[in-house]
Chain A
């Protein structure tokens, strides 16, 4: 079965550079979530989209932006990268936003290292 696809799997960037992370949800899933997991930390919610509109926003820095496209894939854009942005970035997708009794499936994550 198709899973959530994230690209790239690994990314190394220098400080002040920009990065774009991509997420392709499971087909027919209309909700996408982005999470950031620092070393030894639990995943922190960044932002979510439902039907291409932002549905919720968490602790996402102003330097980051994201969008969901017409084919439901999502991109997380990160500018002016800082060393503290080094983390594992997860994307998850879920069908039927608003229905709590549906599981969310995660991609394998993008490991971003800022040097």
Chain B
């Protein structure tokens, strides 16, 4: 079974609009961390935001926020006021405390921001 599921292979959004990228995960470990990375066409993997399983509040980093719904096992990324430079592949990832610490990635959502 997929550990990380991103159901939107691609999205087109108008500049300045907000966008939500979906991510659901599967784990039986009570302690885990969820990450979002941005991968532009240059290929580098840029860390955006992190949410811990025990965090009481949703994580926020500038224009990025994470809508963490633990009971539903979802960790959607919200980008407010999208910009042309936000066009990239967005990858959701998870690290489980009892799985030797490696990070497992989803397949990503390719976001296209339209002028």
The contact string, 1 if C-beta is below 8 Å from chain A, for chain B 23-46, is: 000000001110101000011111
Contact B45 A90 (CB under 8 A): yes
Known A101-B52, A104-B35, A109-B44: A33·B107 in contact at CB below 8 Å: no
* Complex: A88 Cα to B46 Cα, angstroms: 15
17 further contact pairs, Cβ within 8 A, besides A33-B102, A33-B103? A41-B107, A42-B105, A43-B45, A92-B45, A100-B31, A100-B32, A100-B33, A100-B101, A101-B33, A101-B52, A101-B54, A102-B33, A103-B50, A104-B103, A106-B47, A108-B44, A109-B43
* Complex: A12 Cα to B31 Cα, angstroms: 41
Q: Count B-side interface residues using an 8 Å CB cutoff.
A: 28
The listed residue with most A CB atoms (<10 A of its CB), out of B43, B44, B101, B106, is B101
* Complex: A107 Cα to B96 Cα, angstroms: 22
Q: B100: which A residues are within 8 A, CB to CB?
A: 48, 55-56
Q: Which residues of B pack against A, CB within 8 Å?
A: 31-33, 35, 37, 42-47, 50, 52-54, 91, 95-97, 100-108
Contact B105 A48 (CB under 8 A): no
B108 smallest CB distance to A (angstroms): 6
Contact A92 B103 (CB under 8 A): yes
Known A103-B35, A103-B50, A104-B35: A98·B45 in contact at CB below 8 Å: no
